[in-house]
Every structure is written in structure tokens, then in C-alpha cells.
Structure 1
């Protein structure tokens, strides 16, 4: 354990050092600070379990420090050493979670007892924290299995009401308002030779890897869930409940992620959009049918769509990057963080970043800067519009920052460009 002594008087710090039997309490390291601000820096970097503090210090005093500790280091145990017998200070100490308020000159027995109690309380709470963490880990490990069982039951009994649906909607609140859904099925029947060799004796690891990759795309934003289908040994099912307009691109992106991560693509069938939950079984069967008909040539994508008329087809890759570019050109004057774009197009930030750079040669923020500056050039041709107004019109709230970006891309300041636009 570690202890921090905070006091602007050196002799008080030395007295605390001498009066406590540190070894008997399991405290191996002791550091000092002469004021509250220094103490905060030490606490942030060092994370002491026990903190002694004076109440009256230059700069940040003990009251402010105690309040900060309560908010930012609540697990630490604090003992106040003060020369002021003031009820207001004692009350603040107790309200801020302090364990004891010891008056100067320091009584050795009182100090020793306070340290003993602080160490015992911290140890007890740490044990409880570790127990809770262990339980959380166990729950988190079991949750995917629980979800697999729930959604397998849903596919097998889509008309079941009551506990099954209420459990699913409790775990996935987004499904409470879902009215349509679609299923994709990943087949593990005809595996690439490299995958067969690598995972021949580790089938569970392959399922784990595939579902994790899928859920990176489906869980943020939450548009669906991938799970191992217990009714068969060779399938992973993706249940999609929102963003269905961009479903083909999302599945294509997932298969590309398989290629990037595992070195191979997989056969994936996609069913049509159906009412949820009543016809979830139908869209699953459509995805299976598309897979069963995959003797047709599906070049690199290995993705098969069940058609509305009962036929099936190989999808063309949606040019989502062109759609993102168009969206940015229409909304360039608004705040466009990557997370917003990812949520808008129901794709992961990582996928959009990588594909955008591949397609355009620049990242999204650079592309947005280019659009804004090109628009600004047009506005600068009108001498009646102030530069501060132009900055705001193209999406910059800070005129100075706008000027820096403008000069970076054009080699001239907005004023210079206004005078000599060509």
C-alpha cells in the first residue's frame, strides 16, 4: 500500500512519518506534497490508498482537496491533520468522506488508530471490489452464450410471446421498437483451405473470432447481433433490425474484415426484410435458400441475396463512399464527426476510415476541410461578407482556426485570397 502526506509544514510531515508504524499496516511507500495542487498531481499519477492532509494550506486548501478526492479518487481513505478545532471543517471532512479529524499537536495513539481503521476499511472495500469484478467478468463471459440461446429460441419459435421476447428486449432495448428485421447466415460448410488448416482442432475459436468481427460492425451503432446458431453446427446468424437500407454494404464490409483478419472470405446468404418478430424465421430460411443456391458464380464477394420474387442474386457492392462524399458536400457547414457518419450509414468507424482513404486518397477530416475551403473561396468573392461570417457559413466557429486551415490548403490567408483570387 502507499500513503501520501499533504501539509505545508515540514515538521508536521516529519512527525507523521515518525509516529506511524508503517510496516505493520502493510504500507511500503510514502510520499509528500506541500499543497493541494501538488497533491492532486501525485494522486493522479501514483494512486495512494491512504492520504493525510492539512486543512489550511496556501493555494488549494484541504477542503477543496477533500472535495476533489471524493470525486476523482473515491477509493482512497483520507485522514485530516489540522490545527483548527472548527466544527465547519470537521463537518466538511465527514461530508467529503474523511475518516478522522486529528488535531495538532498530533497524538500518536490517535494517529495510529486512525491509520489502522483506514487500512482495514480500504482492504475490506478492495476485497468487495475484486469480488464484484470477478462476478462481472463471469457474467460477461456467460452473456454471449445466454444471447445465443435466446436468439436460437427466437428463430425456432418466432411466435413465442411472454418471457422470451421480454428477456430479449430487456437485453436489447432497440428491439422494443423494431418492426422489421432481416437475417444473414454465414456458412462454415465449405471453408477456405487455410481456415480449415488453422482452425481444424479449434472450431470454437473460429466461431468466437467470426462473431466478434461481426459484432464490431453491428453493435456500434446497434443495428443487430451475430450469434452462433445452436440448431446447427455450421452456421452463424446475423439478425439485423435497423439500417436495413445499407445491409448489403454492411455484410460486404464484414466479409472484407474476415479477409483482412483471417485471410479468407466466407459464404453469406441474406434474406429479405420481414416483420419482426413474427416472420424472423422466414427471412432466416430465405438466407439459407440463397446459400443453398450458391452454385452460381459469385466472384470475390461470396454474398448471396434472396430476391423478393423467390429468386436469388449476387449483389453489386454499394458505393457507400460516394454516398458519404455526397452527404458531406450537402452538410459541410455542420459538425460532422466520424461517429456521426458511422451512425448515419450504419457502418463501423474503422471500416469507413479505411475505405474512405482507399477510395479518395485522403482521410475524412481532410476531405471535409477541402470542401469547406472550396466553398469559402466562393464566398470570399463577395466583398460584403465578413471573413468571420464566412468562417461560420462553412462550418468553423473560430475565425482564427478557419484562417489557419485556409492558408494551409491555399498558401494564402482569406484576406490575401480576397484581394487576389486568381
Structure 2
């Protein structure tokens, strides 16, 4: 909807214009009148009309002076002169002040509405043009970063890029300047999940946006930096640096990157480390720089990690250790013993061997943590605790970057505590465990199908541990004891000649009479018939 201002010192003229205009058709919602130029200028500033109809000959300030001032301050407004003066000089000045039309009094209704329609048409076109430019600007603001991110990712990954696309990107991002060095840095956020949960309510998109925006702002005074999230490594930010030629670009950028790491810690609480790759005047060599930055970050010795920004690959004598998997059986026995300190002691011994070498990189820690998780998952499955009480798979967390050996060992010990607590929860949630309960169950249910799995699942203990515990207490393995009870009961029933051997077989849990006879003979040295005959002869002799 549009607003119209009528500026004329003659009230009848103003009324005539009001009556002649087809305002509803023109989408004009408001009309305001001004009896002289000063009031007209004030209303222009305060009310901001879209169309102004102005007379030339007015007291104090004429219409031409008003147009001169108004067109300079409000060039977007459409001005139409309505005058009784038909002079060329006025028409010439009107063109200078970007007047849309020059109408003579008395006002002709057809001419007035034609001029008003043209004014509305121009306003509508200009509005659409502004909206299109705004949308284009918004799209550029949104799409250019995405375009940059996509293209830089392709360069870093070594993908082939069509040359015209690369040239267009350089022009869009002003990367055609001379005497410029390019590099790739990697910032690894070490506590992303914690900060995301506490500061961003778990919204990872907002968290990454804040991270990259902050990094770009910090880079702006010294580098045309552009940062974006890495989708290959969790919580990793890739920063493309662009600096002027410098005698020691790595030293210079490392000092600046240290300031960025400090700012991220101070403002948001992000704990981070960074690796900076080599600099090159060639933008296309960013992939090599990224590879170097990644190698630098991965090589950081977490046994001696005092800095937060690194520019060179660290080396050292790597620990020549046997796999932690070799400690698996020992750890199972430690978990089953219920002694967490014994369990920790086994792992601490492994850690001591690592510390003796003096070098353990972030990459070593990542691989070792993955091996620990794999082993603990295997142990949990064997101990029957692969699921939590709700039936969901037990989670040991994800392998993350470990900036220090303390962080790495804390992760491993946390998983150990998780496994240990799960075993204890299993025992607490089940009926109080006592090995006698298994013996009593066998005594009462020897004729049913009995297997170790049922006890293992009930008491959250491994089959091996239960068998060992049962044998230590009663001198038999569980299966051995089941067989013993069955054979003892079979003997009792065979002493009664009225009970058929086939019935004895089924009563002690054997569905196959032949199999029962074979098992009985193997256990006693006599077949069921031989045992019965011998028992009867013994009774007669008595």
C-alpha cells in the first residue's frame, strides 16, 4: 500500500486532487495534505510518503525549492508537479529534480491518474528490484561460505576441479592477489561435547557456527582466514590461512593461532590444540599443507605436551609393546574377582611400559583407546553384561583426541569402572549370589535341561568363572555335578526292580534309553541291567 502527500497552498486544488484520484485502484491507503512547502518537507521526513504532488507557486518557499531539497534527501520518492505555470524553465528544472510528470491546472482526471499509475508502476518495479537484490545478497551471504567450504574441501581432498570454477572462486574471494602465502591449520576441540551441552543446549550446529565465526573474527586482523567444520574427524575445524609474505610465516601464524586458542578458551570454554601446515604462494597446494597439519597434530607427544599450537612433526622412540589383547584373560579374571584395584594394576603396568619410552603420540593414544574399547566389548560379551538393565547395548563412549596421557588413562580407567560397576549392578539386581544356590537348583531340577548359559545370564558372570567357582567349592564342574546327581538317582531307582529301566532313564533326564544306558555304563562301569542284577544279588546274599 502506498502513501500520497499533496502540497498546495490552495485548498480547492487539494480537494480536487483528492476527488479525482482513483486511489483504491492504485493501492493508495493514505493521503495527507500540506498547505505550504515547509510543512511538506516536515511530513516528508516524518511520514515518509511514496508519492508527492507539489505546486510550484507557493508563499515563503516555492515548489521548485522544495523539490530541490526533497529530491536530494529522498530520491526514492516519486514527485509530480501540479501547477498553473506553463513555462519551459520550470519544466527544465523539474527534469533536473527527477520529477515524474508536470501537470497543468486545472487538473485533468485522466492525466492525473495516468501519472499516478506510472508512479505506482515505477515504485512497484523498484520494490521488486530491491527485494531481488536483498534475496541475492542473502543468497550470496549464505551460499558463498558453502561454496568456499565445498571447493576448499575438494582441494584439500585432492579432487580434480574444473579450472574455470577455480578461477571464478579466486575472483569471488579476492584470491588473485600477488605476494600472498596460503596455509592450512587444523584446530582440534578437545571438550566439544561438554561445551556444546552446557553453553549451546546440545545444539551442535550453533556450537560449530560460534566456533567458526569466532575463529574467522580472530583471523580477520592478520589473515583472510576462512574456517569450516571437518566432516571426516569429529570436533575438528579446518582453517585456511592467507597472509602477506613474511620471513617466518609459521612462527608468525603460530603466535596468532595461540591467541585464537586462548580466546576460544576464555569466551566459550573450548579447550583446543592446533597444527599448522606449510605455507605456499600456490592456493592449489592447500591439500599438501592440510596433510602436513594433520601429521603434525597426530604426532603430538602426549607424554610431554606443554604447548597448544604446533608447526613441526614430533618424533620419538615409539613404544614397542605387545597388544593389550594379550592381557585379556588376566583382565577377565581380575573383573570376576571383584577387585577393581587388581584390574587397575594390570592396566597401570601396561601404562608404565608406555611411559618408559618417553614418546606416545595422539595417534598412538587414539589407536590404543580403540583397542581397549574392542577388548572391553569382547570381555563384556563374555561376562554377559553387553547390555544395560534396560536391554540397551552397553556404551563405552567414543574414541576422542587425548591432549595428555592423563586424559588417555582417565578414559581407559573410566571404561574399566563402567565394566566393573555393571558386573556389580548385575549382582545387586539379581538375587543375592551364592554358589550353593546353583547346587541346590541342580539337586532340585537335575531331570531338566541344565546349561551354564542360564546361570551366567542370571548372575552376570562368565561361564568359565562360574565353573571354576563351583569346582573350587564342591570338587566338581557344573556339568560333572549334574551327571553325578542323575547317576546317583538312577542307582536309587534301579535298586527297585518294579521300576522299569526305560522309566528310570526318563526320570533322570534322558529321553533316549540307549543313550542313558551308554552314559550309565561309562559312569559306573556297568550297564543299568548289570547294575540292577548285581544289586539284587547283593540283597539276596544278605
TM-score, normalized by the shorter chain, greater than 0.5: yes
Greater relative contact order structure (CA < 8 Å, 6+ sep): 1
User: SS where residue 274 of structure 1 aligns?
Assistant: coil
Q: Which runs of 5+ in 2 are unaligned?
A: 317-542
Listed as ranges, the matches of 1:174-193 within 5 Å are 174-188=175-189, 190-191=191-192, 193=194
Q: Distance in 1 between matches of 2:209 and 2:302?
A: 28
Structure 1 residue aligned with 2:218? 217
Structure 2 residue aligned with 1:305? 310
Retained in 2: the 8 A contact 1:186–1:269? yes
- TM-score, length-normalised on structure 2? 0.49
Q: Distance in 1 between matches of 2:104 and 2:62?
A: 16
Q: Distance in 2 between matches of 1:60 and 1:153?
A: 66
- The alignment status of 1:277 with 2:248, answered yes or no, reads no
- The alignment status of 1:156 with 2:157, answered yes or no, reads yes
Listed as ranges, the matches of 1:241-320 within 5 Å are 241-242=242-243, 246-259=252-265, 261-277=267-283, 279-292=285-298, 293=300, 295=302, 303-307=308-312
Retained in 1: the 8 A contact 2:188–2:235? yes
Q: Distance in 2 between matches of 1:190 and 1:53?
A: 67
Q: Distance in 1 between matches of 2:57 and 2:252?
A: 62
Which protein is bigger by CA-based radius of gyration? Answer: 2
Q: Distance in 2 between matches of 1:249 and 1:57?
A: 70
- Per-residue CA deviations over 1:394-422 (Å, capped at 9, x if unaligned) read xxxxxxxxxxxxxxxxxxxxxxxxxxxxx
- The alignment status of 1:42 with 2:53, answered yes or no, reads no
1:102 Cα deviation from its structure 2 partner: 1.1
Alpha carbons of structure 1 residues 287 and 111: separation in structure 2 relative to 1, 3 Å: same
Structure 2 residue aligned with 1:80? 81
- Per-residue CA deviations over 1:329-384 (Å, capped at 9, x if unaligned) read xxxxxxxxxxxxxxxxxxxxxxxxxxxxxxxxxxxxxxxxxxxxxxxxxxxxxxxx
Alpha carbons of structure 1 residues 237 and 170: separation in structure 2 relative to 1, 3 Å: same
Q: Distance in 2 between matches of 1:303 and 1:39?
A: 65
Structure 1 residue aligned with 2:27? 26
Q: CA RMSD in A?
A: 3.6
- Per-residue CA deviations over 1:180-219 (Å, capped at 9, x if unaligned) read 2232212246525232566686333322222222222334
Listed as ranges, the matches of 1:328-343 within 5 Å are none
Q: Distance in 1 between matches of 2:13 and 2:264?
A: 63
1:24 Cα deviation from its structure 2 partner: 4.1
Structure 1 residue aligned with 2:17? 16
- Per-residue CA deviations over 1:37-63 (Å, capped at 9, x if unaligned) read 654443344332111122344666544
Structure 1 residue aligned with 2:462? none
Alpha carbons of structure 1 residues 82 and 136: separation in structure 2 relative to 1, 3 Å: same
User: SS where residue 98 of structure 2 aligns?
Assistant: coil
Q: Which runs of 5+ in 1 are unaligned?
A: 313-422
Q: Distance in 1 between matches of 2:3 and 2:114?
A: 17
Retained in 1: the 8 A contact 2:56–2:81? yes
- TM-score, length-normalised on structure 1? 0.61
- Per-residue CA deviations over 1:130-159 (Å, capped at 9, x if unaligned) read 234234323332221111011112223399
1:274 Cα deviation from its structure 2 partner: 3.4
1:246 Cα deviation from its structure 2 partner: 5.0
Q: Distance in 1 between matches of 2:39 and 2:278?
A: 62
Q: Distance in 2 between matches of 1:60 and 1:259?
A: 64
Q: How many residues align?
A: 309
1:273 Cα deviation from its structure 2 partner: 3.3
Q: Distance in 1 between matches of 2:222 and 2:35?
A: 48
Retained in 2: the 8 A contact 1:270–1:303? no
Alpha carbons of structure 1 residues 197 and 73: separation in structure 2 relative to 1, 3 Å: same
User: SS where residue 99 of structure 1 aligns?
Assistant: strand
User: SS where residue 31 of structure 2 aligns?
Assistant: strand
Structure 2 residue aligned with 1:127? 128
